[in-house]
Structure 1
């Protein structure tokens, strides 16, 4: 319906405005996840005072130029607009279908019974619908996220290596060029590298939206002060819900970013016949073995700053546009 399209467009516009403001922090987060030397400098006790997220932004801006902090911005905006349009459109469409569906039929009797039973537990409905919408969105936009990661990391030696383990081998002249080069040199299916991880990570927006909608229904964080609820409520609710979902899923995001950057965690050997699930678990365990549990939280500080503020601003714009 038109309302579902409006929800999708509101999410897309809100995400574009918010990521444009906080993009340098997103760049730092990506760099920290794939560059262990940058991570070491950011966590060293001797340099801690000078290696906060904002200090790293300043250092990289001075060293590589301020424009380097906006590498991949265009591809990020396109990917995020597509992702959030699909996500919010599917979320509201599926939720409306689940809450209104009243068909009958013997083969659907059990499913319909479960749906009717869960209508009273709206948070479960939001979690299920949020996850399904997230899975569909990442399948549609997967190649765009790989392009964005490659664009941001051009000229950067990933994993702290001085060898030719860098994304700088090929200079991408834009999104289309990157898509063509990657599909030609590494195969079309490589464009969906890390998609299995993205499917798992669909838990992130599902948890966020489930918590957000629950807080929104009950006004748990700021009460019923109607004068300030218009702007403050979505900001605070989105900030809190994104914090919870990010903490729960961040280690998976680190593995995903390393996959998209092309890092091989097994002595650069490509395991072409390896099962996806087994390969992902193996990568996770090897990451822990090489860098410890702490390595799975590389860039968490910058991620929390970027994603929580970004989400809070996005939901303020989203709610305003949706109700306009």
Structure 2
């Protein structure tokens, strides 16, 4: 990040960048989720024939809300904590902190943002996998959202909205690693003014590469989390397997398909991540550049008015 702008500006630009990228890549995100949950209706042709093109946007409203909220909180907490650490160490805002500090700040920011956005993420996964299930909640609109919320509450109570949250204690390393690697890319590949304000192409490539490395490192856990959140409580009773945990999901996937099954859907996830993270970083950097340019123009105008 290493931006000298106030936390609110960084958070706003980050959330707008993430929401833009989310809207552009959402159909691919939905397909990836269905591959990860071994949904038999993952065929694109079958999906279009059965439900129409609009079905590729099931849950986009909820997911966009989760993206805006999560990204805003992440970037705000990150920039706020980083500013405190920088001041304490007597460094400039643009300085790169030691890797342990960068990762710790990113990790704490990830936990904070995911603790708030997890319920919306859970509802999104349920909406994405509702087609082809016995769920009556696949009707559309606000009634669909409320139907899923009522179903989750009926099945597992209020805490059910944080189903799979335990995985976030490790998955929160993903944005931390991504952000650190993006900063490292800027330090190694760019010089001078470009390092402080990367061109759109470098923002895209740096963000995409950083996200790809982070996803590969943590993918089995990401897969297991999606499987857990997509699972629904059966009507018939007492089998504990009706409530899979992160650990049992990983074990079940490995037992059924071996090591490579733990990377089911990785290709789609990486492709989605390249487009999403690259676009998000590019839009974020561009918004921040526009804010800086607007501030400099305003300051120049004030100087002219003062002299006049």
Q: Give the TM-score taking structure 1 as reference length.
A: 0.77
Cross-structure match for 1:307:
273
Instruction: Please tell me whether residue 248 in structure 1 is matched to residue 217 in structure 2.
Output: yes
Cross-structure match for 2:255:
289
1:13-162 alignment runs, 5 A limit: 13-35=16-38, 37=40, 56-101=43-88, 121-157=97-133
Structure 2: unaligned runs, 5 residues or longer: 291-308
**Cα distance change, pair 61–271 in 1 and its aligned pair in 2 (3 A):** closer
What CA distance in whole angstroms lies between the structure 2 residues aligned with 1:133 and 1:229? Answer: 23
Determine if contact 1:4/1:89 at 8 Å carries over to the other structure: yes
User: What whole-Å deviation, never above 9, does each CA across 1:25-70 have from its counterpart, x for those lacking one?
Assistant: 101100001126468xxxxxxxxxxxxxxxx434422333111111
What CA distance in whole angstroms lies between the structure 1 residues aligned with 2:232 and 2:213? Answer: 28
User: What whole-Å deviation, never above 9, does each CA across 1:107-158 have from its counterpart, x for those lacking one?
Assistant: xxxxxxxx9xxx875333221111110011111111000110011111334x
1:136-285 alignment runs, 5 A limit: 136-157=112-133, 166=134, 168-171=135-138, 173-219=143-189, 226=194, 229-262=198-231, 269-270=239-240, 279-285=245-251
What CA distance in whole angstroms lies between the structure 1 residues aligned with 2:104 and 2:76? Answer: 15
What CA distance in whole angstroms lies between the structure 2 residues aligned with 1:239 and 1:89? Answer: 22
Residue 316 of structure 1 aligns to a residue whose secondary structure is helix
What CA distance in whole angstroms lies between the structure 2 residues aligned with 1:216 and 1:186? Answer: 45
Structure 1: unaligned runs, 5 residues or longer: 40-55, 104-114, 158-165
Q: Give the TM-score taking structure 2 as reference length.
A: 0.80
Instruction: Give the paired residue count.
Output: 277
* CA RMSD in angstroms, aligned pairs only: 3.0
